[in-house]
Amino acid sequence: MKLSINDEIIEADFATLGEWAAAEFGKDGTKGFALAVNDCIVPSSKWDFCLLQNGDRILAVKATQGG
């Protein structure tokens, strides 16, 4: 299936947002990230239950400190 990740199209076989996040950031690397699918924020507690479909748009934003 094709997914748009931060406006970059990729071909992927991930069933859930949690699978994609673990593959992209590593199991412990997902802390400090906010993820949205099709413009809807998905709480990290629901990543493993958020099913991905062909054409979904994922936006990943990393929290930073500073002013």
Read off the pLDDT of residues 49-66 as tens digits, 9 standing for 90 and up: 999 999 999 999 988 876
pLDDT at 67: 60
Does some domain include residue 34? yes
Number of domains in the chain: 1
**What is the extent of the structural domain holding 33?**
2-62
Separation in Å, CA 59 to CA 8, 23, 43, 46, 67: 10, 15, 13, 15, 23
Q: Taking the model in full, what pTM does it have? A: 0.86
CA distances in angstroms from 1 to 9, 28, 58, 63, listed in the order given: 10, 26, 13, 28
pLDDT at 34: 93
Please check whether residue 67 lies inside any domain of the structure: no
- Determine, yes or no, domain membership for 9: yes
> What CATH number should be reported for the domain holding residue 16?
3.10.20.30
State pLDDT tens for residues 7-51.
999 999 999 999 999 998 887 767 788 999 999 999 999 999 999
